[in-house]
């Protein structure tokens, strides 16, 4: 009987837990689905975006006399660095190709001369 009692107790706990979870989910859904909350969030995000833009502009303005790089300056420098690395890789590949061509030409020119010497 102890096993049946334990199973009944576990089943009751499970049902109660499911009921509490459902009620909690409904409560959360009801509090989230209020239109005024969304309007408030939209207003706050617009204000925050405007403040961030003003701050970014102020930093851009201050960066000139104070001589420090801005986020945009750093991003541009990074792009230029990547472009320079890509160009250096292309030049390196061309130099390697030229070196191979020179070796092939030397071998081609050296072959008749070697056979003439022998």
Residue 86 belongs to what domain range?
71-118
Q: How confident is the model at residue 95 (pLDDT cuts 50, 70, 90)?
A: very high
Q: State how many domains the chain has.
A: 1
The stretch 41-66 carries a mean pLDDT of 90
Judge whether 96 lies within some domain. yes
Judge whether 80 lies within some domain. yes
Pair of tokens at residue 61: 């303005």
Judge whether 39 lies within some domain. no
pLDDT at 7: 85
pLDDT at 62: 87
Give the burial string for 85-104 (b: 16+ CB within 10 Å, else e). eeeeeeeeeeeeeeeeeeee
Judge whether 93 lies within some domain. yes
Q: How confident is the model at residue 97 (pLDDT cuts 50, 70, 90)?
A: very high
Mean pLDDT of the chain: 87
Q: How far apart are CA 49 and CA 56, in angstroms?
A: 10
Q: How far apart are CA 38 and CA 35, in angstroms?
A: 5
Q: What is the pTM of this model?
A: 0.46
Judge whether 84 lies within some domain. yes
């Amino acid at each position: 009987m102890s096993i049946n009692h334990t199973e009944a107790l576990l089943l009751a706990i499970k049902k109660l837990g499911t009921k509490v979870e459902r009620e909690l989910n409904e409560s959360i859904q009801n509090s989230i689905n209020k239109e005024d909350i969304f309007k408030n969030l939209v207003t706050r995000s617009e204000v925050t975006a405007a403040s961030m833009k003003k701050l970014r502009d102020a930093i851009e303005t201050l960066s000139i006399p104070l001589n420090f790089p801005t986020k945009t300056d750093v991003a541009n420098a990074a792009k230029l660095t990547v472009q320079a690395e890509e160009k250096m890789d292309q030049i390196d590949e061309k130099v390697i190709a030229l070196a191979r061509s020179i070796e092939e030409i030397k071998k081609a020119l050296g072959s008749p001369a070697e056979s003439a010497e022998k």
